[in-house]
Amino acid sequence: MGLLEGKSIFVTGGSSGIGRAIALAAGREGARHVWVASRNPEPHEGGETTVDLLHAAGTASEFVTLDVADTAAVFAAIEATKTQGGVDVMVCSAGINAKEDFLAITPEQFDRMKAVNLDGTLFAAQAAAKQMVAMEKRGAIVVIGSIGGLRGMRFSTMYSGLKAALINMTAGHSHQHREPRHHRDLACHRPGAGVPGDDRQGRTENSAAASGPAERNCRGSSVPCVRSRELHHGGIAHRRWRPVGADVREYRTWA
């Protein structure tokens, strides 16, 4: 039996990069239904679409045209999943990055990145959490962070700052609802430092930098940091499930 046997999973930014890898891994682990949400179904790295690959492997899947910066559209997309029994695992992977000179950043550039990377993630997670509570179901919410949110990256002032906010936002949410009796997990995965790319959702990050022994607490945070093999999301032991092949650390708290 797979780690996600019978579960339904919704992945923002699922057409490309980390989101694509997660969606395909979910199929391999027995997911019952996978929603792949992005602005465009075509992967940035080329090849067949995520949905086509899932169908070829025998996994029920559908593409959802979605810009996570549109909050109303995000809530509508999550609401529509009720026809398939709702979301068991919500993965917030949509994000954009662009190399920038700090002295040249414009308000418009910052607003767009914030709308996708922070606002889009916040309200996608909230939409899924509200549905899980309303349907009284166990579930998991996975937020894709970045090591850049902990130490910053050159020519990525906006991206690093917003990822730092995202990590702490995730911790704040989880601390509010961290009692195990709720049977919902919220985790922030921190892939290694990536190379800034184009303004696109679902971009691939180079995740080879996160290595070393598991830390019980990250940089003084009260949120424990553990390996993915130690995580349990909604009663599902994620001993092997990682978004990419690299060594990835996660914040794990109850939600």
Which residues are marked as active site? 146, 159, 163
Bridge-based pairing of strands 60-65 and 232-233 is unpaired
Q: Give CA–CA dist 128/88, Å, rounded.
A: 9
Q: For residue 81, list its beta bridge partners.
A: none
